[in-house]
Chains A and B, each alone.
Chain A
Amino acid sequence: MATEYDIIIIGAGPGGYEMAERAGHQGQKVLLIEKAHLGGVCLNWGCIPTKTLLNSAKHYVHAKEAPEFGVTTGEVSFDLKKVMAWKQEVIETLRGGVAAMMKKSKVTVLNGEATLIGTRKVEVEGTVYEGTHVVIATGGSPFVPPIPGADQDHVMTSKEILSIEEMPKSLVVIGGGVIGIEFASFFSSLGVKVDVIEMLDEIIPFMDKGQAKRFRAALKGKVDFNLGCRVTAIDGHNVKYVDKTGEEKSINADVVLMSVGRSANLSGMGFEEARLDFDRRGIKTDEQMRTNLPNVYAIGDVTGKSQLAHSATRMGEVALNTILGKPDRFRMNAIPWAVYSMPEIAGCGLTTDQAKEAGFNVETATLPLMMSGRFLVENGKKGAGQVTVVKDADTDVLLGVHMFGAYSSEIIWGVAAMIESELRIEDIKEIVFPHPTVGEVIRSTMFQF
């Protein structure tokens, strides 16, 4: 006899567990199935552990720079073992938090591998569970391209490198996306020689092009960026690549990080047999996260729509609202993103190039973060950072804000609120920002138009 649930969620990442919590809170009977750990990639092998490591690196850098701010320190050292132990403690604390949250929301958590059967049933280790709605939140995994030599032990993905036991002397990062840049920042801050090899002409494809250049300049001497270069093979510790001019080159490194992208987790869960509509990029959904199968929803990385934890959470909320009959839609135009490198990078909305491509009559304004007293105080005169505001000159509507520099990640949410509200620059000028803060520079930039 199958057990009946209102909602069965496969995958307990930030898409799945947040949705489970909200659904449970709404009185829905929820089954949450997870094959590994509560919290998914984000909590266990992604957002949280990387931020833990980066925070330790920041402490290290700040301690080393402390004399510039009048604080004398002794010898500063980085204890990787302790850092890793703290990272593990953070993960376990948060896992416990998620478990408590599930308990409080009366969500049934099941550990095991799920198989979708038809449109309303899920099998886990021989037992069939039946739900009125099934939500697929199976996430994604690092994509490893078929490069000769990529299967060696010192060629790692983000997952393995998070458990590295010994600090390498040199690192080659293949792929200059968010993950690659964060690890490049982490290791370079600790004195590791870092080379980034990126196939495209610029790092972080959705970053403002001008700022990307300035950001790279800020890392000069710490990270070498090899743009427009294609890796052909990893021969032992030599990473071979062809540069823009077609010249074959090679970089030697202790460790190679493969961070060229992530792909949706689609196989081995009965999706094909259930006739779910998906392609290589992910499961196809509409704006309400409905798949082609009745009662079956998909959220998060597995949809291929957006590979951000907060996107997954929002998709889960949209799916839940849809299930509960409340009109909602997943809007993509105001999803903020952040890179927790040193300096941080964040953005929301369209970049100048994207806005032009979309046909807007674009006008932009830029100010350095150094305009902020607090920024100078805390980052010193060599602190790098700027804000670029993109607006539609015809309507004065804010199209995007892109920034890099300390605290960017904590500031950017306000831009999401502005864009979601479709505020015009003249409206935003009426909003008061606290002083002294770094966020003020956004407001100041608006007055440059």
Chain B
Amino acid sequence: MATEVLMPRQGQSVESCIIIGWKVNEGDVVTEGQALCEVETDKATFEVEAPAAGTVLGVFYPDDADVEVLKVIAAIGEPGEDVSGLRPETSEVSEQTSEVSAPEEKNEVAAPQPVISDLRSPTSGAGASPRAKKLAAAKGVEFDVLAGTGPNGRVIERDVAAAQGATLSPAAKAKAVATGLAAPGMGTGIGGRVLAGDLSEVAPQDIAAAVAALDFPGAVNEIPVRGIRKLVAGRMLDSLQSTAQLTMNTSADARTMLDFRAKCKAAAEARGVGGITINDIVLFATVQTLVDFPELNAHWLGDKMVQFEDVHLGMAVDTPRGLMVPVIRFANRLTLKQLSAEAKRLALAAIEGTIEPDDLSGGTFTVTNLGAMGIETFTPVLNAPEVGILGVCNVQLKPVMGKGGEPQFIPHIGLSFTFNHCAADGAPAAKFLVALRQNLAAFDVLLVK
């Protein structure tokens, strides 16, 4: 009896994963625990391991397929075993690949492109999506003579819609059938009639590239929006559209924390504090300050607000796959040393792509730090439904009037705090910043709290 290889469930919120690439082929002999393929959720990548030793009898989904969790993606067993019963239905496989592009066109799949239909002879064999078939049936369009604009030339809904809208002149029809050229949804002839000259030799995606090149001469690299980029884009837009966010800027005397950090660095290695960074100190101070401002350690849900007793602190991390926000659980219960270690662990996992999906959700407040890049002030975008996000900026020297009336230059760390005005008013938000400023300025006092 062959062993099923399932698409594993990665956290409660993950419904499907994309197969980035298979590391084995059908017929390969594998050992238990050997990596079979690499898969990607919206938030992380991980490897699917062989649940048993044996021969790979079937690989059921191609690279780039988006597969629901707990589906059988492969089978391992003795050579010759029948695994057809485990294989998903063909239409299901092609349907799941329809949303993603074939590997060879990875960098040039156009998202919005001119709608093109095609009377190419029915040889492409890439099939049609169920929605396309449904529309084709309703409109009386023969979808199998259309050349699709979907992945691998698959006929998708818009191809059917376009074919239905286009009237081809007799000459255009003859030319399309004879040459396999593609027809646009609307031509340049009478009433939008497609004329022979409107047929085009290049693939629809190339037309999109060519059109883009008209406006922007030079090579064009089109990148499909998906995965983390798509998720971030959706969340950012949603955040800006669904909240009344605004940003306040201030700065805090950084002398104490800079001194402290210098001391940590200089401390004996056995104390294990050498790795404490300015960011860790700011995270710690933020968490300790937030405890006194429950209205900002909260979620805004439109019809209600949820305030949290504990601080689960999200921290923005720039990773090769894009922005990720791992969450430090119960950050308010951690010592500075513990907080620093946890922050380091999560950041590393996020950068390496090994982070658990559940570590990427459930934050109550977020800190994002661009200070290392020399940013002086910015407007962080809320990680909705969280009510606040603190932007940490660089350390600058600021002139301050000394006791004798002479100016002194004192290092200050910039703070840009965005909050949702739906959930909190300006005065409490400003009070939070004032408290944070004081806590950062007298950071050592916080440690004895």
Contacts and interface: CB of A to CB of B under 8 A. Distances in A.
B170 to A, nearest CB: 5
A60 B186 CA distance: 52
A121 to B, nearest CB: 33
Interface stretch (A361-369, A376-384, A420-428): A420-428
Nearest to B197: A422
Interface in A423-449: 423-424, 427
Contacts of B193: 421-422
A43 B175 CA distance: 44
A397 B192 contact: no
Contacts, number: 35
B186 A427 contact: no
Interface string B161-196: 000000001111011000000000010111011011
B170 A427 contact: yes
Nearest to A427: B170
A423 B186 contact: no
A132 to B, nearest CB: 26
Interface residues on B, range: 10 to 19
Contacts of A331: 188-189
Contact of B192 (A327, A395, A420): A327
A397 B169 CA distance: 10
B186 A422 contact: no
Contacts of B186: 327
B170 A420 contact: no
Select the residue from B171, B186, B188, B193 with max chain A CB neighbours within 10 A.
Answer: B171
A329 interface: yes
B170 A422 contact: yes
A424 B188 contact: no
B123 to A, nearest CB: 23
Interface string B194-212: 0110000000000000000
A421 B169 contact: yes
Contact of B190 (A395, A421, A424): A421
Contacts of B192: 327
Nearest to A421: B169
Contacts of A396: 171, 174
A449 to B, nearest CB: 15
Select the residue from A396, A420, A422, A423 with max chain B CB neighbours within 10 A.
Answer: A422
Interface in A407-429: 420-424, 427
Nearest to B168: A422
A420 to B, nearest CB: 5
B173 to A, nearest CB: 10
Given A395-B174, A397-B171, A427-B170, A422 B188 contact: no
Contacts of B188: 329, 331
Contacts of A329: 188
Contacts of A427: 170
Contacts of A424: 170-171, 174
B394 to A, nearest CB: 46
B169 A395 contact: no
A331 B189 CA distance: 8
Given A422-B196, A423-B170, A395 B189 contact: no
Interface string A326-356: 0101010000000000000000000000000
Given A395-B196, A397-B196, A420 B174 contact: no
Interface string B341-352: 000000000000
Nearest to B198: A422
Interface string A301-332: 00000000000000000000000000101010
A326 to B, nearest CB: 10
Contacts of B190: 420-421
Nearest 10 Cβ contacts at the A-B interface: A422-B169, A422-B171, A397-B171, A420-B190, A427-B170, A422-B195, A424-B171, A424-B170, A395-B171, A421-B169
Interface of A: 327, 329, 331, 395-397, 420-424, 427
27 contacts: A327-B186, A327-B192, A331-B188, A331-B189, A395-B171, A395-B174, A395-B175, A395-B196, A396-B171, A396-B174, A397-B171, A420-B189, A420-B190, A421-B169, A421-B189, A421-B190, A421-B193, A422-B170, A422-B172, A422-B189, A422-B193, A422-B195, A423-B169, A424-B170, A424-B171, A424-B174, A427-B170
Given A397-B171, A421-B193, A424-B171, 9 more contacts: A327-B186, A395-B175, A396-B174, A397-B196, A422-B169, A422-B170, A422-B171, A422-B196, A423-B171
